[in-house]
Amino acid sequence: MKRLEVMANRSVQEEIITGLEEAMPDFYYTFIPVVHGRGRTQYRMGTPTWPEENFMLISYLHDEDAQRAREIITEVKHRFPEEGIKVFFVDGEHTANT
């Protein structure tokens, strides 16, 4: 199992979420609509000085779905090369109802 973390500019939010939902009918996730911070090249603070904002998506995926998610997000990154899109996969563990 993998934990998927996506942090990206809100301008690509719909493309990423729609792509993942269409590719995986059982795609369940937590969505944080507004995320502020600093990346390597820009601030995204939602202020007049740095007006852009990010979103964050977190999901736990079976290994085979993690590869599919990587492909979908990579395709969005190729279509929107100037937008900040960062993807992280971390080994995840599921515990039964604790």
Whether 2 is in a domain gets the answer: no
Whether 30 is in a domain gets the answer: yes
Whether 96 is in a domain gets the answer: no
Whether 79 is in a domain gets the answer: yes
Whether 77 is in a domain gets the answer: yes
Q: What pLDDT digit, counting tens, does each position of 34-43 carry? A: 999 888 778 8
Q: In which domain, by residue range, is 39 found?
A: 7-54+63-91
Whether 98 is in a domain gets the answer: no
Whether 40 is in a domain gets the answer: yes
pLDDT at residue 33 is higher than 70: yes
Whether 97 is in a domain gets the answer: no
pTM: 0.86
Q: What pLDDT digit, counting tens, does each position of 1-15 carry? A: 999 999 999 999 999
Domain count, the chain: 1
Compute the half-sphere exposure of residue 33: CA atoms within 13 Å on the CB side of its CA. 0
Q: How far is CA 83 from CA 10, 27, 33, 76, in A?
A: 9, 24, 16, 10
**pLDDT number for residue 47:** 85
Q: What pLDDT digit, counting tens, does each position of 47-84 carry? A: 888 888 999 999 999 998 999 999 999 999 999 999 98
